[in-house]
Amino acid sequence: MSRTSRIAGAVIGMVALAGSLAACGGDSLEKEKGSGSSGGDSKKGSLVVGSASFTESKVLAELYAQILGDAGYDTSITTVKNRELYEPSLEKGEIDVVPEYAATITEFLNAKVNGAEKAQSTPLASGDADATVAALEKLAGPLGLKVLPAGKAVDQNAFAVSKEFAEKNKLTTLSDLGKSKLKVKIAAGDECEVRPFCAPGLKKTYGIDVTGIDPKGVGTPQSKQAVRDGKVELVLTTTTDAVIDGLVFLEDDKKLQNADNVLPVLNAKDAGAPEVADALGKLTDTLTTEDLAELNRKIDAERAKPADVAKEYLESKGLIKK
Range of the domain at 206: 157-250
Is residue 3 over pLDDT 50? no
Mean pLDDT in residue range 81-98:
94
Query: What's the pLDDT at 34?
Result: 45
Q: Which residues 6+ apart lie within 8 Å of 198 measured at CB?
A: 7, 157, 186, 188, 191, 192, 236
Is residue 12 over pLDDT 80? no
Is residue 18 over pLDDT 60? no
Query: What's the pLDDT at 7?
Result: 42
User: What is this structure's pTM?
Assistant: 0.83
Please indicate, yes or no, if residue 322 is contained in any of the structural domains. no
Mean pLDDT in residue range 108-134:
95
Is residue 229 over pLDDT 90? yes
Domains of the chain: total = 2
Mean pLDDT in residue range 226-253:
96
pLDDT band at 29 (very low <50, low <70, confident <90, very high): low
Whether 264 and 57 have beta carbons less than 8 Å apart is answered as no
Task: Please report, to the nearest 10 degrees, the dihedral formed by the alpha carbons of residues 86, 88, 90, 92 taken in order.
Answer: -140
The answer to whether residues 34 and 130 belong to one domain is yes
Query: What's the pLDDT at 30?
Result: 53
Average the pLDDT over each of 21-35, 58-72, 112-126 and give the range with the smallest value: 21-35
Mean pLDDT in residue range 169-197:
95
pLDDT band at 35 (very low <50, low <70, confident <90, very high): low
Domain end call among 250, 274, 298: 250
Mean pLDDT in residue range 77-89:
92
Residue 92 CB coordination number (10 Å): 12
Q: Which residues 6+ apart lie within 8 Å of 226 measured at CB?
A: 187, 214, 216, 232, 235
Whether 295 and 264 have beta carbons less than 8 Å apart is answered as no
Query: What's the pLDDT at 76?
Result: 97
Is residue 123 over pLDDT 50? yes
CATH number, domain with residue 110: 3.40.190.10
**Alpha carbon distance, N-terminus to C-terminus of the chain:** 33
Mean pLDDT in residue range 251-270:
97
The answer to whether residues 109 and 179 belong to one domain is no
Domain end call among 223, 250, 277: 250
Q: For all residues of the chain together, what is the average pLDDT?
A: 89
Is residue 32 over pLDDT 70? no
Domain end call among 233, 250, 267: 250
pLDDT band at 28 (very low <50, low <70, confident <90, very high): very low
Query: What's the pLDDT at 195?
Result: 86
The answer to whether residues 99 and 239 belong to one domain is no
The answer to whether residues 135 and 27 belong to one domain is yes
Exposed, middle or buried: residue 50 (CB in 10 Å: 0-12, 13-18, 19+)?
buried
